[in-house]
Amino acid sequence: MAKVLMKGNEAIAEAALRAGAEGYFCYPITPQTEVAEYLSKRMPEVGGMFLQGESELAVGNMLFGAASTGKRVFTTSSSPGISLMQEAISYMAGAELPAVIINIMRGGPGLGGILPAQADYFQAVKGGGHGDYRTLVLAPSTVQEAVDLTMLCFHLAQKYRNPVMMIGDGMIGQMMEAVEFPDSYEEPPLPSTDEWAATGALDRKARIIKSLFLDPLGLENNVLILEKKYQQMIREEVRCESYKISAKNKILIVAYGTMARICQTAIDELEAEGVSVGLFRPISLYPFPEKEILKEATRKNIKSVLTIEMSMAQMMEDVERAIQGRRPVHFFGRTGGIVPTPEEVKEQVLKLLTVKHRSSKKKS
């Protein structure tokens, strides 16, 4: 198929359809409303279900119910809306249901603003709802990657029977880029939903899909079943990418989403000025690419690590945990809808390099 120019939100919507999404539940919120607008036209064309709820609270629970049928279902929203869905996400994790949740993040906390931010990292990665559960979290940095990861989300949700989340800052949803959709959607084989899905009990025993386990041993057992899946995710679903990592780097930048692209511009410009810097970009935020970051950060030439975010040092906690104190981890970020410029990133790198020179002079 030839490339088309699409807004991130439209591309996400189209990608979901091509991955076989049959049910979409939503409530409008900037900056992701175009997903709903697009699907209000397209969902009926493919015979799927488009339903606007009365609130995100309703949407979360519609998703819970629809996911119980084993069909591919999803929702999209932005930060405050995703907060309202946390209870349902926890219930779906507890009941082992596949669902895709896409958060096109805006500035917070509270009602915040409508400009791009990455401030829902903790909410997505650490589990915004209650209980011992995890959500698999992916973060694209281009519209094309948003297409690819949206499709992957549906596969992973079915593979693990667990909520899977994709998070992108508002820019991912709002910007236009050239994208290409695969002619046909192919994915590795998946376990059948026949064993568990609520599909009508006319000719079989009724099934109860629930997250309630009053017997503590039963509840502990359920949590252990979930835990086993999360361990499998850690083994099989780590995704990351590096950019211009070389033995000449003294500093390793860690950034995700569109923030990584701003860092790439800064890295290219620094390279032209004779300063070599590498970028490590986590694509899966849970599972976090811990071993991979540790390996890159502890190379002999790397003196320190710089985490850059459109939030206040949220991912930095995971970077620090991965590096285990073996290199200093610094932070730079803007938030509230302010997007750091390549110039600001360059300034931070150069500042770090000067500090380093001074301290090494002291030693000699």
Partner 1 sequence: MLVISPVKQHRLPTFSKSILIIVGGYGSGKSEVAVNLSRQLVNAGSAPVAIADLDIVNPYFRSREASEQLTSLGIRTINPTGGQHYADLPIILPEVKGAIEQRQGVLVLDVGGDDVGARVLSSLSESFIEDTYEMLLVLNGNRPFTADLDGCLKMINDIESSSRLKFTGIVSNTHLLEETTVQIALDGLELARQVSRRSDLPVAFLSGLREIIECDEFDNVDVPILPLERLLLKPWESSAGDE
Binding site for partner 1 (CB under 8 A): 3-7, 10, 14, 30-31, 34, 113-116, 170-171, 174-178, 258, 261-262, 264-265, 269, 337, 339-343
Least Å distance, CB 344 to partner 1, is: 10
Contact present, 121 and 343 (Cβ < 8 Å): no
Least Å distance, CB 116 to partner 1, is: 8
d(CA 272, CA 36): 43
> What is the secondary structure of 32-57 as a DSSP string?
SHHHHHHHHHHHHHTT-EEEE-SSHH
Partners of residue 26 on adjacent β-strands: 52, 76
> What is the secondary structure of 118-173 as a DSSP string?
-TTHHHHHTTSSSSS---EEE--SSHHHHHHHHHHHHHHHHHHTSEEEEEEEHHHH
Q: Report which of 321, 313, 325 is spatially closest to residue 287, judged by C-alpha positions.
A: 321
Least Å distance, CB 216 to partner 1, is: 48
Least Å distance, CB 339 to partner 1, is: 5
Burial 226-263 (b: 16+ CB within 10 A, else e): beebbeebbeebbbbeebbbeeebbbbbbbbbbbbbbb
Least Å distance, CB 355 to partner 1, is: 24
Contact present, 188 and 155 (Cβ < 8 Å): yes
Least Å distance, CB 285 to partner 1, is: 20
> Can you tell me whether residue 247 is helix, strand or coil?
coil
d(CA 153, CA 159): 10
Task: Check whether the bond before 287 is cis (ω within 30° of 0).
Answer: yes
The burial of 224, by beta-carbon neighbours within 10 Å (0-12 exposed, 13-18 middle, 19 or more buried), is given as: exposed
| CB nearer to partner 1: pick between 233 and 262 | 262
Degrees (nearest 5) of the Cα angle 52, 57, 62?
55
Contacts of 180 (CB under 8 A, 6+ apart): 1, 2, 3, 4, 144
Contact present, 297 and 243 (Cβ < 8 Å): no
Least Å distance, CB 125 to partner 1, is: 23
Least Å distance, CB 120 to partner 1, is: 17
Least Å distance, CB 30 to partner 1, is: 5
